[in-house]
A and B are shown apart, each in its own frame.
Chain A
């Protein structure tokens, strides 16, 4: 069993055709296995510690603004597009028959547009660097790993606006997203759409086209696991305040003070509107 299905081209060359679809099941089962293992680990080995209610701190409002309305809209539109893409891509492979190609490329364009918006919005209106791992994250991660293995280490610091796991997840999603979007935009030339007639001879040789399809499929399969894991963490009790903040835009002062480093995630004075970063 390989990662890619190979075929013989009309010119007798062995060329990749697409990702091996057994990977759909591998990704799904691996993600569910991870979720179950993590649940058991947290329940049996490292139960979450309840922190005492924090004392009010000057300048920190009762409702700490976390996600602006625009950021939340982007997130949910992107989530809807991603789910539509996953269902339209993989349900036909699993045997469900429907006219999936149109749904898929329309959802793909919606995802592309929402991510372009996100890049502009994050660059101009948000703290662009807040989602990227920094030195403090790396030092904290090393300390946490050392403590996990019982070695002496300093107490890890609190999180910035986004924990390292969140930043790494964003990084992986960004790379997988870049792969599906770039390959997907090229692949649109192979199906008729409102933008252009199909032309399979545009741009690439058979081998390259095969790699484009394989990369698109592999990144798509990766998104199955990434989505399941994302939903799992979004529903975990200790993460629910973060999930709620993606709906309502804010998290409680107690949660903020107990989990986050006020120096690394500075709360600006509340604005008159709820539309904050």
Chain B
């Protein structure tokens, strides 16, 4: 398909100064508005003419969306806070190192300097058929070009496919789920706070959207409660190029111990499914057990039950099995824990 590249299309640029003003603009403009946070993904979409909004709402001038604030032993992180700020924040590193580790392996240092937490969790899927402008399900069409006998689907889903098989590419998402984070959304009816897991939606529910944000909604902050402060954490990301790449898969776990036994645990995996997966069955299975090799191996096997590989991504099953295993049995030795 002929696509004009590298030249920005003509559109209106709006630069609100407050979150309330931004939300009003988004509500007024509706589906024609494009929300730009760090702008790292936005410019690709716009310059490739794959997404064609009429108005660009640039959030970079809204100071109230930036910064990390302490709150009841937890943290409130503005959606426009950069990944570098989060990775280097003392409180994050001390009490919620899981998030610091997760955001420190996003892309490259330059991208982390510009990329925001809100943009990282809300970024769209990386499927090249979709991003190439093909009329796939996610683009509003009636087919998936990746899920075919010859489609290139090495990076795609082994769980949760429903017509679309693209995976959520966020590195911070599983960490935020493991930390039981809450997402603060400002909409036309005011502010609402939802669990991190509920922020993401799969194609079985909504195929053209990867999160629950509707036109007129604005993600303003992410709150991390004190609940998991200082727990034992494990994060691991596997990618093709260690210097700069999206995850083939990543895993995040937060574990509280009582003696040698796992008292409580939250564990999530991303890039295995169209939305980040919290592994509740694994959590239930390992509670009360030692974080041993045997427990990890059992958890790994349990985690991949029901996985359905595509033509070129069967490797993701042992990958996920081993990541989950290490997220449990390796948690005590993790250097950043």
Chain A residues with a Cβ under 8 A of chain B: 5, 7-10, 12, 17-18, 92, 97-101, 190-192, 198-201, 209-210, 213
| B118-159 near A? 1/0 per residue, CB < 8 Å | 000000000000001011000111111101110000000000
CA distance A5 to B139 in the complex (A): 13
Assess whether A7 is in contact with B149, with CB atoms less than 8 Å apart: no
> What is the distance, in angstroms, from A218's C-beta to the closest C-beta of chain B?
14
User: Do B161 and A192 touch (CB < 8 A)?
Assistant: yes
Q: Is B162 an interface residue (CB 8 A)?
A: yes
Task: Assess whether B142 is in contact with A190, with CB atoms less than 8 Å apart.
Answer: yes
A97-B201, A101-B162, A191-B163 in contact; A17/B140 too (CB < 8 A)? yes
Task: Count A-B pairs with CB separation below 8 Å.
Answer: 55
Contact A8 B135 (CB under 8 A): yes
Of B135, B148, B149, most buried by chain A (CB within 10 Å of CB) is: B135
Q: Please tell me if the beta carbons of A17 and B2 are within 8 angstroms of each other in the complex.
A: no
**Closest A residue by C-beta to B135:** A7
What is the chain B residue whose CB lies nearest that of A97? B205
Q: Which residue of A lies closest to B2 (CB)?
A: A12
Is the CB–CB distance between A199 and B149 below 8 Å?
yes
Chain A nearest CB: distance from B137 CB in Å? 9
Residues of B within 8 A of A100 (CB): 204
Least Cβ distance of B239 to chain A in Å? 28
Q: Is there an interface contact between A200 and B144, defined as CB atoms closer than 8 Å? A: yes
Contacting residues, chain A, for B1 (C-beta < 8 A): 8, 10, 12
A99 contacts B143, CB within 8 Å?
no
A100 and B134 CA atoms in complex are apart in Å by: 24
State how many residues of chain B have any CB contact under 8 Å with chain A. 23
Tell me if B206 counts as interface (CB < 8 A to partner A): yes
Q: Chain B contacts of A199 at CB under 8 A? A: 148-149
> Which residues of the other chain, A, contact B206 by a CB distance below 8 angstroms?
92, 97
With contacts A98-B205, A99-B162, A201-B149 taken as known, whether A18 is within 8 angstroms of B134 at the C-beta atoms is no
**Assuming the A-B contacts A12-B1, A98-B205, are A213 and B145 also in contact, with contact meaning beta carbons closer than 8 angstroms in the complex?**
no
Which residues of chain A come closer than 8 Å to B2, judged between CB atoms? Answer: 12
**Partner of A200 from B135, B143, B201 at Cβ < 8 Å:** B143
Shortest CB distance A245–B (Å):
41
Q: A10-B135, A12-B2 are in contact. List 15 more A-B contacts (CB 8 A).
A: A7-B139, A8-B1, A18-B142, A97-B201, A97-B206, A98-B205, A100-B204, A191-B162, A198-B144, A198-B148, A200-B147, A200-B148, A201-B148, A209-B142, A210-B142
A-B contact list, 16 entries, CB within 8 Å: A7-B141, A8-B1, A8-B135, A9-B135, A10-B1, A10-B135, A10-B145, A17-B142, A92-B206, A99-B162, A99-B204, A190-B142, A200-B143, A200-B145, A201-B148, A209-B143
**Alpha-carbon distance A8/B132, docked complex (angstroms):** 12
- Please name the residue on chain A nearest to B212 by beta carbon: A97
User: Complex: how many Å from CA A17 to CA B208?
Assistant: 15
A97 surroundings in chain B (CB, below 8 A): 201, 205-206
Q: What residues on B are CB-neighbors of A190 within 8 Å?
A: 142-143, 163
